[in-house]
Copies of this chain bind each other. A is one copy, B any other.
């Protein structure tokens, strides 16, 4: 595995992880006042398109990052709408 792929996989792993502390915070506090609904709507669409791009380009780091990121982003968006 070349070092470019390793960097991509590290970026992908952290990308998939990044929304997790936000998701835990939302589940714990049940408060989403300071979260921008615009951010999470655009984020969900962007992540979905990245996932599609990754599949079409057969690019594993992009597929992995955006598969987990999409699930987390959709759950946070759900709670943003529920708790607003």
Set of chain B residues within 8 Å of A46, measured between Cβ atoms: 11, 14-15, 17-18, 65
Which B residues are in CB contact (< 8 Å) with A20? 39
Asked whether B7 lies within 8 Å of A36 as measured between CB atoms, the reply is no
0/1 interface trace, chain A 7-28, chain B, CB 8 Å (1 if under): 1101100110111111011100
Residue on B with the closest CB to A56?
A: B4
B21, B36, B49: which contacts A14 (Cβ < 8 A)? B49
Q: Mark A28-50, 1 if CB is under 8 A from B, else 0.
A: 01011111111100110111011
List 12 contacting pairs A-B, 8 Å CB cutoff, sorted by A.
Answer: A7-B52, A11-B47, A18-B39, A18-B43, A25-B39, A31-B33, A32-B34, A33-B33, A34-B34, A34-B35, A35-B35, A46-B65
